[in-house]
Chains A and B, each alone.
Chain A
Amino acid sequence: ETGVTQSPTHLIKTRGQQVTLRCSSQSGHNTVSWYQQALGQGPQFIFQYYREEENGRGNFPPRFSGLQFPNYSSELNVNALELDDSALYLCASSLADRGGYEQYFGPGTRLTVT
């Protein structure tokens, strides 16, 4: 059983650019959540996807968008990057059908916006 993987590990972008981050869920999990963790802070919930549909969103603007694919892998897209988007982006997968109260985190993607 493989764990949650994320790519790339690190990324440097320029303000105004667009970025796509990828997440591969743990085998058998149908729910993925994305979090933004700024330096010195706890993770903040961005949104969640359950069976390919958005299933809740945190306080993030529409330029943060996502996709979940039939194999339950996921993407986080951020348009018009701002300096404040610099953070560690974490994805976490879980199995919602059985309560899914445990989620398993990937190692994160460190995004730097210059």
Chain B
Amino acid sequence: AQSVTQPDIHITVSEGASLELRCNYSYGATPYLFWYVQSPGQGLQLLLKYFSGDTLVQGIKGFEAEFKRSQSSFNLRKPSVHWSDAAEYFCAVGLSNTNAGKSTFGDGTTLTVKP
């Protein structure tokens, strides 16, 4: 069965600083990988996804992520964090041969942004 690990429970960065959130997955085949953001009291919003092709994917709100098969990682990055980026971030892996609805999620990383 697939699994997702987000090693950092909580990260604090200063506004304007760069950000990297880590995600490691375990899955036997080519994974479908996702990053979601969840603001307090809200559902999840898709930031970006990787299915195949270019291993560096661009998402919304200035986020990008890089798929590294050799490291089983899909880390999320942003060059300059804004105060509005403070939220919870979830990495998820979906099955290759079906749709994303059966995704396995990590336990999330809470991002705090200092002024």
- Which residues of A are in contact with B by a Cβ distance under 8 Å? 4, 31-33, 35, 40-45, 48, 56, 58, 90, 92, 94, 96, 99-108
Within 8 A of A (CB), among B22-71: 32, 36, 41-46, 49, 51
> B36: which A residues are within 8 A, CB to CB?
105
Known A-B contacts A42-B106, A43-B90; the reply to A96 vs B42 at CB < 8 A is no
Nearest B residue to A32 by beta-carbon distance? B101
Top 4 closest pairs, chain A to chain B, by CB: A100-B99, A42-B105, A33-B101, A105-B43
- The total of interchain contacts (Cβ-Cβ below 8 angstroms) comes to 71
> B43: which A residues are within 8 A, CB to CB?
4, 90, 105-108
Known A-B contacts A90-B43, A101-B49; the reply to A48 vs B102 at CB < 8 A is yes
Known A-B contacts A41-B107, A42-B106, A43-B90; the reply to A94 vs B99 at CB < 8 A is yes
Within 8 A of A (CB), among B87-115: 90, 92, 94, 98-108
Distance between A103 CB and nearest chain B CB, rounded to angstroms: 5
Name 15 interchain pairs, CB-CB below 8 A, sorted by A. A32-B101, A33-B102, A40-B107, A43-B105, A44-B105, A48-B102, A92-B44, A96-B99, A100-B100, A100-B101, A101-B94, A102-B49, A104-B46, A105-B36, A107-B43
> A99: which B residues are within 8 A, CB to CB?
99
> A48: which B residues are within 8 A, CB to CB?
101-102
- Flag if B107 contacts A102 (CB, 8 Å): no
- Flag if A107 contacts B42 (CB, 8 Å): yes
> A45: which B residues are within 8 A, CB to CB?
101-104
Distance between B106 CB and nearest chain A CB, rounded to angstroms: 5
With the chains together, A42 CA to B90 CA distance in Å?
7
